[in-house]
Amino acid sequence: METTSEGRDRPRGAGRPTHEQARARQLELLDAALDLFLEQGYEQTTVEMIATRVHMAKRTVYARYPEKAALFLAAVRRAIEAQAVPRETLERLDNGDLAETLEAVARLRIGQAMTANGRRLHRILALENLRFPELFALSNTVNTGPVVAFVAEVLDRAADAGQITTTDSGLAARAFMSMVVGTQVRSIEAGRVPSPEQLDERILFMVRLLLDGLHPR
């Protein structure tokens, strides 16, 4: 047996790991790093702790990330990118009915927030926003921004059709997503996970609130 550079034994002659295997180890490292940063806090977490958790040599980790901050940023970036919604997915939610489209977008985003990755991401952004303010900008660019832009487009189309009054669609979209998603995320983080019935009631209420406010007078 020979010991690999990542601290694991591999049979002699096994050769180098495949691209897929190397990629899997990379993602395992980033996931373990994020878990430890959440468990211990940024200050208390060390690269050695992370390397030990994934059975990887510390020098291998440093070869990829020369400092702890770089590893932290890469781990959070992975969590942010995992929450990104492809444009095609958003377009499939648009069935031409304004209220139903808004409801579908809200359910999608709340569902994401309730996943393990969504909850980890929300917590780490809340904990480290002062130390790494650039992460909020990244999350908005990759994750939140495209959804808000899509909702704004749907509202603009409805305004052009005379279904709602003309408004600042970007502002309205951001306010809607903050009300319907942000409120639920805070409730979930506080341990008050809403039932499916409660979610439906809240989503429908927020959609009606928005559309009543934008109804042509």
Among 30-39, 151-160, 194-203, the minimum mean pLDDT is found in: 194-203
Alpha-carbon span 149 to 146, nearest angstrom? 5
Mean pLDDT value across residues 170-181: 92
Q: What pLDDT score does 14 carry?
A: 53
Q: The tokens of 67 are what?
A: 């400092």
One-letter amino acid of 189: E
**Is 4 a residue whose pLDDT tops 60?**
no
**In the chain, what are the domains?**
2-79 (1.10.10.60), 85-214 (1.10.357.10)
d(CA 144, CA 185) in angstroms, rounded, equals 14
Mean confidence (pLDDT) of the chain: 89
Highest mean pLDDT range out of 16-20, 68-72, 182-186?
68-72
Q: Answer for the pair 33, 23: CB distance below 8 angstroms, yes or no.
A: no
Q: What is the pLDDT of residue 1?
A: 39
pLDDT, position 185: 77
Strands 2-3 and 9-10, how do they pair? antiparallel
The pTM of this model reads 0.81
Here the tokens at position 202 are: 């809240």
- Is residue 15's pLDDT more than 70? no
List C-alpha distances in Å: 25 to 3, 20, 22, 60, 114: 16, 9, 5, 11, 26
14 Cβ partners below 8 Å, 6+ apart? Answer: none
Phi-psi category of 115—alpha, beta or left, where left has phi over 0 and alpha has psi -120 to 50? beta
Residue of 145 and 9 predicted with greater confidence: 145
